[in-house]
């Protein structure tokens, strides 16, 4: 990935090949159940149907609609699935899941429509609130199921790691792969106070630079960004490289096991 592409892609899974854009009709095989970020029928739930180790922290699902929860339950089945010998289908995904469930930080989960999102975005990790004491930051993981389902299996447009995203996976396994990428971002940032400060500082610097340029109606140039924010962009590139490496391992683990039963594999 060129260092400039980290501006738009930091903490994201970006898909450009074969993804339905906001103006494209959905394929005949499905309808999009999502209507954006508004959650009129949201239901308060905790991950896995149980309260996390620390009340009010870990993975929180209160921002999910009932339709979103159905997708989430399918992801849970992928995480919990075992192979013929009784071993986890994806030990890496299970480890990330357990970390997220028990972390003292807050990880909200959202599922969004592609409408109003940057083109081709499948998943995003963002910090929403910084705890000055560093004990319990608040962050969000957003998944875009429609973009994930419609994407062709292909190498990411800005990938650092060489792997074919989604190759050989069902829809629900694709969701799990993207979740693994975003959980890897979360763990990488939240488990190291020094790294967390570097990453949030880098994001703030990039966003401030872009906002300043846009206010003056100046088109931001990657060359300008790379020259002025080289260190900050390198921090974001390192985070993306780590998350892609983890995602590639999860893909290999899931694709190397027997397919899930049809009832699980077809979750929408």
Copy the structure tokens of residue 18: 């074969």
> 138-143 and 58-60 as β-strands: parallel, antiparallel, unpaired?
unpaired
* Cβ-based burial of 133 (10 A; exposed 0-12, middle 13-18, buried ≥19): exposed
Model confidence, pTM = 0.77
pLDDT at residue 218, rounded to an integer: 67
Q: With contact defined as beta carbons under 8 Å apart, do 163 and 251 qualify? A: yes
CA distances (Å), origin 220, targets 7, 198, 217, 234? 11, 23, 9, 18
pLDDT at residue 50, rounded to an integer: 33
Q: Give the number of domains in the chain.
A: 1
The span from the CA of 255 to the CA of 246, in Å, is 14
H-assigned helices in 81-229: 91-102, 145-150, 171-190, 193-215, 222-228
Q: Domain containing 79: what range?
A: 3-265
Question: What does pLDDT average to in each consecutive run of 10 residues of the chain (268 residues)?
Answer: 47 42 35 34 33 68 96 97 93 98 97 83 93 95 94 68 84 97 97 96 88 71 77 92 94 76 40
């Amino acid at each position: 990935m060129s260092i400039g592409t980290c501006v738009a892609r930091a903490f994201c899974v970006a898909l450009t090949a074969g993804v339905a854009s906001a103006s494209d009709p959905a394929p005949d095989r499905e309808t999009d159940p999502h209507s954006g970020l508004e959650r009129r029928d949201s239901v308060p739930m905790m991950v896995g149907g149980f309260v996390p180790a620390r009340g009010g922290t870990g993975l929180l699902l209160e921002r999910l609609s009932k339709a979103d929860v159905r997708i989430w339950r399918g992801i849970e089945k992928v995480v919990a699935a075992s192979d013929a010998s009784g071993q986890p289908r994806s030990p890496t995904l299970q480890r990330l899941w357990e970390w997220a469930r028990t972390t003292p930080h807050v990880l909200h989960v959202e599922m969004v429509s592609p409408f109003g999102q940057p083109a081709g975005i499948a998943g995003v990790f963002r910090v929403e609130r910084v705890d000055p004491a560093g004990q319990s930051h608040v962050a969000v993981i957003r998944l875009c199921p429609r973009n994930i389902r419609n994407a062709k299996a292909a190498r990411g447009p800005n990938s650092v790691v060489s792997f074919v995203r989604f190759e050989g996976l069902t829809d629900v396994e694709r969701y799990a792969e993207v979740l693994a990428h975003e959980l890897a971002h979360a763990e990488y940032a939240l488990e190291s106070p020094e790294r967390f400060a570097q990453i949030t500082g880098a994001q703030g610097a990039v966003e401030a630079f872009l906002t300043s340029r846009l206010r003056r109606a100046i088109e931001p140039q990657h060359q300008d960004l790379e020259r002025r924010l080289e260190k900050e962009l390198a921090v974001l590139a390192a985070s993306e490289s780590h998350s892609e490496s983890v995602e590639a391992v999860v893909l290999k683990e899931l694709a190397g096991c027997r397919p899930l039963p049809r009832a699980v594999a077809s979750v929408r």
